[in-house]
Structure 1
């Protein structure tokens, strides 16, 4: 069974749905921190649904539409395919294979994919036009963290030291975040506060030693002396609220 076939089913299913639907498999974390020197890192998957599921897992490098059969990543996932019965779980182990050297002065990021493949529809159910076969995919980040750049406290500090400024990009007003740390900084949401005026921003992630651009919704101008307020994500998937001046 080809994974890209199921990716197409996901897109088609979501387009056809007019009711709420959600994945049955729940992960024990919303992000994975793989520290250099770890033998393995484990993530628990729980099937909270009422039917058995076949689960396929793989890594990608940031392109969610890439063909899993052509992706190479320096991690071994065990097991790559598993069956999880209703109300039961499965532990997935990650092992850095060393097949590709990763940066020593900053984090590297990969994405972990979990695809739920539902059981085959029975003949009687197939005759029911209201039945829609669906496959769900969950995708979370895996950060490989070199020992030399520090641990949890250093990563938490990185959120606080991003410097903000305004700019124009392709004729659009943007806010630029400069990340001088070796850690990735991810934002759930952000907004600009100027007096009683609030301007929403698109959320994004800023890579280590890089500058990220946040689009200003409705292309509004940014008054001098404004402040950015944000919700960032820490190592444990929790929300960190903060604010910083826009220079």
Structure 2
């Protein structure tokens, strides 16, 4: 029997884990892509893949299972070193670009080549649209994701391809990445006080809320024609 099929990267924790669980509850067949797994479900399959390993990505193949709708959520991402650019380890910066952008483009191309039609949601960040001191590699990688998504959307329209792509900023979500950010010193991250305030005033979204908003977006795509979106614009209740 045909069903909706979801592929999602970064299922080890945070948004990826919450999305995998939520979409399973909605009846999707879910393929979780990542380095570790904690989900056991009859409609779930874990695909081991380290997005920092280009050779592993080159060997990766999407399932050829028949489905009614195919969705790829490129969620995996890393913040990398938090520090002024001139103090950064360039090899760490390269890894941030690799995981956040290069791997995303490779998986996106393979997805397009593997399924007859589909929806691609790239998880971006507000940091892809404005500079954040101490986050040079992260900001650059997410800006690249945004423009890549806009370019691909134009190509889909021009060549009449049966795909939809969105680059989605989830807002400030209570994940391991936020914990890492709050541990940075004021010298490494001059805006750290703002993030501590968001945490202490309980203004962070739970990953489960982000998963619900992404599902709402997927089921109301006609309401959101723009390629670049913020989940802050979606009110669930």
Bigger proportion of residues as helix:
2
TM above 0.5: no
TM-score between both structures, scaled by the size of structure 1: 0.27
TM-score computed with the length of structure 2 as normaliser: 0.27
Asked which structure has the greater RCO (Cα within 8 Å, sep 6+), the reply is 2
